[in-house]
A and B are shown apart, each in its own frame.
Chain A
Amino acid sequence: MSAATFPHRVCPATGRVIASAAEPLIKVNAVVAVVSLLIGAVAALLLVLTRWQAVHLLPAEWYYRILGVHGMNMLIFFIIYFEMAVLWFAGTILLNSRPANPKLGWFSFALMIIGTGLVQWAQWAGKADVLFTSYPPLKAHPLFYLGIILFAVGALTVTGLFFASLVIAKREKTYEGSVPLVVYGAVTAAIIAVITLLHGAIIYIPTFLWSVGLIKSVDPQVYRLIWWGLGHSSQQINVAAMVAVWYMLSALTIGGVVLNEKVSRSAFVLYVLFISMASAHHLLVDPGFGPAWKIVNTSYFMYMAVLASMIHGFTVPAGMELGMRLRGFTDGLFGWLRRAPWGDPGFSALVFSVVVFGFVGGITGVTIGTEQINIIAHNTMRIPGHFHATVVSGTAMAFMGATYYLLPLVFQRKVAFWGLAKAQPYLFAIGMLLLSMGMTFAGSFGVPRRHWDISFSQALFDVQFNPAVDITLAVMGIGGILAVIGALSFIAIAVKSVFFGEKITTWETGKPILGIPQGLTNPPVHAPNVDEINDALHADSRGIAGATPGTLVLVGVFLLAFVVYYFTNWKLLSFLWKVG
């Protein structure tokens, strides 16, 4: 029996209190996120079939229009609506608490919807062919900027309500001590969201006034500086939310443990302090900023956030390994990994998210974010190759994995098309990996990003790329098609489950049930001799291998790949540097 004094229900699987006022807010934000994902995925298919030079589907005008639609729907709407759902979830359900001012929450959601509608109208009607970045002097219809401002105000208000919900939970003592680590990750995401949205307000309000003729101009260099405080930092909200989801899925799917609360929380604090400065990566070839500003922002301070990601990149898999070993899967270096539930879409999505984010997104990001190396990567396809590995393979993949658990827990529905759901993370991950690698290698041969026709067929000058580019672009195209099929499969599963799925309010544990992830039907528990296992794992005789030797090997492989890729890029740079 719950002691909560507000309208609620109790989750049959986790025992958590689910406030009646929070549940619909989580649902509507998640549903709109999926709708945005659908629009973005259709746009992605059109784009990939245009950049694949052998197909070259869209005419120039529509290529640039759809590129803007894809950027807004994927990088802003899908991700931020889902993060709003995460904030409502973390601020209430994970704290067994109630939301602060749900009426204001609905008003904020309405603002976000109106803003989304205005932006969609402007882009599809051809009134805002200014791409995602909307750099002046390119000018869009005023309603485009107004739409973004309304969306940002709504999102900022929800972030404020999240902080208010934390205060309520603390005051009403719905939890003891520090907030759980997953909530701490959501707090980190919320703080970065405030930084992000403040920059959005600072730059979009004058740009809106410029678009209606009330001010004469917007300085392009100032715009680029402030806009990237929004454009890149918004993707750092994703990183923090994604890592929070990693910890959650690790615990839910295989009983992953937190190795050390202090270490993981310190890493989140490093994100709060330093990760937003990664925005400067986009300005590394801008003449308006000196080398000191560039290097301090992208190297000295930013590397503190890279350190944080590397900490999470160790603690999450190590927590998974230790959790599995404490459940009795102790054989060999990787027995814990072999015996893991690879048929659980929540688990497979978690693993792919961690691996591709780290090995592809992380390594390429740090490398091309180095000031000197950036000159050979800037505005090439290496940049989208990098961020598709982080934002899509990392964040979107993690959010998809979380959805497979939220469907039964929050929506109280079985996961529809269960067989497809089990395969979906594999399809999406393989497709995105091919897409990212294809883009990255095409960019390494100098293929520009955001370019309709790299054959320069109507240009006055002739530019020839290495013929290998045709292969890398084909890899990108095939990967993109696979990834879009994976994304559309996820959307079909989510829509069928939410609107037409089998209702389920309670279920028996201990036996598999089609449509419910195994972490809920067979919750992970420690082995009967867990104390004995724990003592053996932490014995001095294990030496440097410690309790998680498998993860140590994996991070060793990661560091080796990092070193090889990083120094290979310095070698590539040296080929171009003809002075001396």
Chain B
Amino acid sequence: MVDSPPRDAPDSPPFMQRMFDNVFLLLVLGIVVMLVVYTGWGMWEVLTMPAGTLP
């Protein structure tokens, strides 16, 4: 069995490159940011809006 090189080995890609290469991390981050900032916050604004009353 061959050990994988330590993550901070000189020949391993830098941290940011490993992060950018992690497609599934980006996928999760993309969905979460949108769902929180746009969708979730927007839904909260609509659903907490007091109902209008007819005169």
**Which residues of chain A have a CB within 8 Å of any CB of chain B?**
163, 166, 177-179, 187, 191-192, 194-195, 198-199, 219, 221-222, 225-226, 229, 233, 262, 265-266, 269, 272-274, 276-277, 279-280, 283, 288-290, 293, 296-297, 301
Contact = CB atoms under 8 A, between A and B. Distances in A.
Contact of B31 (A166, A194, A274, A277): A194
19 contacts: A163-B24, A178-B13, A178-B21, A187-B23, A187-B26, A191-B26, A195-B34, A225-B43, A225-B46, A262-B16, A269-B20, A269-B26, A272-B30, A273-B29, A288-B49, A289-B45, A289-B46, A293-B41, A293-B45
Nearest to A192: B30
B39 to A, nearest CB: 6
Nearest to A226: B39
B46 A288 contact: yes
A297 B39 contact: no
Contacts of A297: 37-38
Interface in B24-55: 24, 26-27, 29-31, 33-34, 37-39, 41-43, 45-46, 49
Given A187-B26, A272-B29, A225 B42 contact: yes
The dominant DSSP class at the A interface is helix
Interface residues of B, number: 23
A229 B39 contact: yes
A312 to B, nearest CB: 16
A222 B46 CA distance: 7
Contacts of A199: 39
A219 B49 CA distance: 13
B4 interface: no
A-B interface, 3 closest residue pairs, ranked by CB to CB distance from nearest: A272-B30, A276-B34, A225-B42
A298 B23 CA distance: 26
A90 to B, nearest CB: 12
B44 to A, nearest CB: 9
Contacts of A233: 34
Contacts of B45: 288-290, 293
A205 to B, nearest CB: 15
A409 B34 CA distance: 37
Contacts of A301: 37
Contacts of B43: 222, 225
